[in-house]
Amino acid sequence: MGIKSGHMYAAGLASIGLSFASWMISKNQEGAGLDRADRWGIFIGEWAPTFFAIGVALRIEETHKDLEEGGTEMFDSSQGQRARSHVGV
């Protein structure tokens, strides 16, 4: 679909910033008090781990695709050692 792991990592970082911003705005603009501001901040802050987990899953898929396209195996059966998963690292 064109979504890469870096996009999900960026979304996770953005949700952390948005969590702080929503907490600050709710605390200063709404008259509902600190409890409501805390709930807004926590609600949006809970998105970050999900975005990071999706980013990790996409990174695994990207690495798996790179290995399939390159024609290399994850394990080199002749030496019993792990092959490098990133070219040029």
Domain spans in the chain, listed from the N-terminal domain onward:
5-82
Average pLDDT over residues 36-42: 80
CA atoms of 61 and 87, how far apart (whole Å): 16
pTM over 0.75: no
Predicted pLDDT at 89: 45
Cα 26 to Cα 3: distance, rounded to the nearest angstrom? 32
Distance CA 19, CA 39 (A): 10
Q: pLDDT value at position 74?
A: 53
Q: At residue 75, what are phi and psi to the nearest 5 degrees?
A: -120, 135
C-alpha 59, offset from chain centre? 9
In 8-77 the beta strands, taken as DSSP E runs, fall at 75-76
